[in-house]
Structure 1
């Protein structure tokens, strides 16, 4: 087994750039393993195929895309503040290794799989907290306190405190972004050490403690296969969708059999359309969507809320894309945006934001309907539901 040396870096630190170059010069490794996957490596090298507008819109994972863009924006903003481009230390490792004819190994897990496990693994509450925190940061809230990036790479206690805070904030999210990748990187480095005498691992400072722990006791490493499979979770979207369909249908049946009158039943259906539509359309406008997109969200929300295979945001996004006509070049504009206001002006960002928020509005509308429908109709739910149930049972009994 060869020797493995780790360099813990910050992705926007000049000190990290210098330390990486110095470590390669002094250690003279047989291979330099960097915390990148093939996609991020190609992006840094500005090589390989780029995502297209169709790829993004057909994927349908609009909330995940927004979170990814906001995380990239925050990292870029920190890099601008300290005068270092994000990923500069990885570029330095690649340049230094290539200049010395040292092979480069990509040691990290595919970012698409990591983000998928990250998003799908989090609870609804964790997702809401994360989006709120990211939105506040992107919008410029959260104070003017500067982050000392260089101190983060030197102070182990500060790094551990930051990681612990992330675990407290989002335990499941931290598992996918930190813990699982500690294990994945450890597997990669240990495999390289089986065939090389000297392996230099260039990884984020937050991974050093976890990787070192696995090096000290490899028996604790989870099986590699468990780190690369798609997360197995219950299809909550379809479970809740089916539940709401059943609840809505049962509610309409009980109102119909309660004897309050056909007009009340009709208004109950009308309010289903209005509450879902107004909130879906309203959130579309909040996202900066075109009025036609808001009308689309309004028109389909009542139906998509009853079908877990559809989403109001998809239809609103199609209309928004027809109006805004996003281009592949918009991806670069999103990356280069200086603030959230500039990001919102980019057609592709606007389309994705409309899709995500229209879905949020439609979901809120569904919950709001079941909470407020009886006060809106001005009827006593206990009486209506009890009478409707009893009359329904009597009707069914008469059929037997």
Structure 2
């Protein structure tokens, strides 16, 4: 096995750029592994074609996209404040490799797999905390007191990682632990083919990677690190439960004898509460009034179909109006503040989709929370009585 040296970096640190160059000069590696996948490598080299707008909208992973863009913005904001482009240490490593004619290896997991496993692996509570933290960072980043160079010091890194694990244990597993194992596997593979291997990785991965290198028997199976995330479709399951509850409520009201007027109001409130909240959140996202009207018009229906979402329809209308283009993706990357990001058509479309879905979901929850006092009924009486009458009616239909 070849000799391995690891350089831990902070992605927005000038000192990290110098550390990478010094390590290559001193160690004279046969191959340099960098914490990049093919997609991010192409992006750093300006070789990556922007995604197609229609592909982004068809994918439907709006919350995940917003998370990715927001994280990227925060990293760029820190980088701009300290005068270093995010990923500059990787660019420096690539430049040195090319200048010296060395071999370059990409040793990180595909970012699409990482983000999918990260987002889908988190619990609902973790996602809510993450969204709140990101929103707070956007409204008041507070980077002025950050010592960026301290982000490569192991004690500081360890403390930060421990805090992140308390904040989101499932998120830390996908973003840190699994990637530690994946990177370690790539380094072990390189050390079997080259005598001197230099690995340039974020400081947060150094301790985990070194642990796996010293005890490779602890490494999880390769397929467990790259397989699509396995999870229950909780969103669809919960949506199905709400559909059943709504059907049960309407059937019970229809057969309980409370009167036709109460039944009509129960249905009308379903349309209004779902629609108003979906439309309000669409407007809050900066959506066009026509997008809000669309969200209002479809929310009652999409809330009864777990396979559909009000945000999809609102986003389709918003896209027709805003006319996003592939140039928008670069504009998101170039935005200097969140206000500029919100003005980019594709960002606005995705934000509308995500928030319209949030509004529709909250509308469904609010309906079941408040419909009983609004209608002036006691569900513990009406539902058993109405359902019993319904069962009796069914029995009468099928009796000889």
Superposition pairs of residues 334-349 of structure 1, within 5 angstroms: 334-349=332-347
- Cα deviation, 1:311-335, whole Å, max 9, x if unaligned, reads 1001000100111111111111111
Task: Verify the 8 A CA contact 2:278 2:359 in the aligned structure 1.
Answer: yes
Q: Specify the alignment match of 1:188 in structure 2.
A: 186
Superposition pairs of residues 165-180 of structure 1, within 5 angstroms: 165-180=163-178
Task: Verify the 8 A CA contact 2:12 2:88 in the aligned structure 1.
Answer: yes
- Structure-1 separation of matches of 2:388 and 2:190: 71
- 3-state SS of paired residue (1:201): strand
Superposition pairs of residues 18-167 of structure 1, within 5 angstroms: 18-140=18-140, 143=142, 145-153=144-152, 155-167=153-165
Q: CA deviation at 1:390?
A: 2.9
Q: CA deviation at 1:393?
A: 3.4
**Which one of the candidate residues 210, 213, 216 is aligned to 1:212?**
210
Task: Verify the 8 A CA contact 1:38 1:110 in the aligned structure 2.
Answer: yes
- Cα deviation, 1:321-378, whole Å, max 9, x if unaligned, reads 1111111111111111111111111111111100000000001011111111111112
Q: CA deviation at 1:145?
A: 4.8
- 3-state SS of paired residue (1:7): strand
Change in CA separation of 1:165 and 1:247 when aligned onto 2, cut-off 3 Å: same
The aligned length equals 398
- Structure-1 separation of matches of 2:51 and 2:393: 58
Q: CA deviation at 1:395?
A: 2.5
- Cα deviation, 1:133-171, whole Å, max 9, x if unaligned, reads 111101225x46521110111x21110000010110000
Q: Specify the alignment match of 1:350 in structure 2.
A: 348
- Structure-2 separation of matches of 1:49 and 1:341: 25
Task: Verify the 8 A CA contact 2:78 2:143 in the aligned structure 1.
Answer: no
Q: CA deviation at 1:229?
A: 0.2
- Structure-2 separation of matches of 1:108 and 1:147: 27
Task: Verify the 8 A CA contact 1:32 1:105 in the aligned structure 2.
Answer: yes
- 3-state SS of paired residue (1:253): helix
Q: Specify the alignment match of 2:276 in structure 1.
A: 278
Q: Specify the alignment match of 1:15 in structure 2.
A: 15
TM-score computed with the length of structure 2 as normaliser: 0.98
- Cα deviation, 1:116-139, whole Å, max 9, x if unaligned, reads 000000001111111111111012
- Structure-2 separation of matches of 1:240 and 1:382: 22
Q: Specify the alignment match of 1:372 in structure 2.
A: 370
- Cα deviation, 1:293-315, whole Å, max 9, x if unaligned, reads 00000000111111111110010
- Structure-2 separation of matches of 1:222 and 1:249: 46
Task: Verify the 8 A CA contact 2:50 2:329 in the aligned structure 1.
Answer: no
Change in CA separation of 1:144 and 1:191 when aligned onto 2, cut-off 3 Å: closer
- Structure-2 separation of matches of 1:393 and 1:92: 73
For structure 2, list consecutive stretches of 5 or more residues without a partner in the other structure: none
Q: CA deviation at 1:388?
A: 1.1
**Which one of the candidate residues 206, 211, 223 is aligned to 1:225?**
223
Q: CA deviation at 1:248?
A: 0.9
The alignment's C-alpha RMSD in Å is 1.1
Q: Specify the alignment match of 1:304 in structure 2.
A: 302
- 3-state SS of paired residue (2:32): strand
Task: Verify the 8 A CA contact 2:294 2:317 in the aligned structure 1.
Answer: yes
Q: CA deviation at 1:242?
A: 1.7
Task: Verify the 8 A CA contact 1:139 1:339 in the aligned structure 2.
Answer: no
- 3-state SS of paired residue (1:292): helix
Q: Specify the alignment match of 1:262 in structure 2.
A: 260
TM-score computed with the length of structure 1 as normaliser: 0.98
**Structure 1 consecutive aligned stretches of length 4 or more whose deviation exceeds 6 Å:** none
**Which one of the candidate residues 292, 295, 299 is aligned to 2:293?**
295
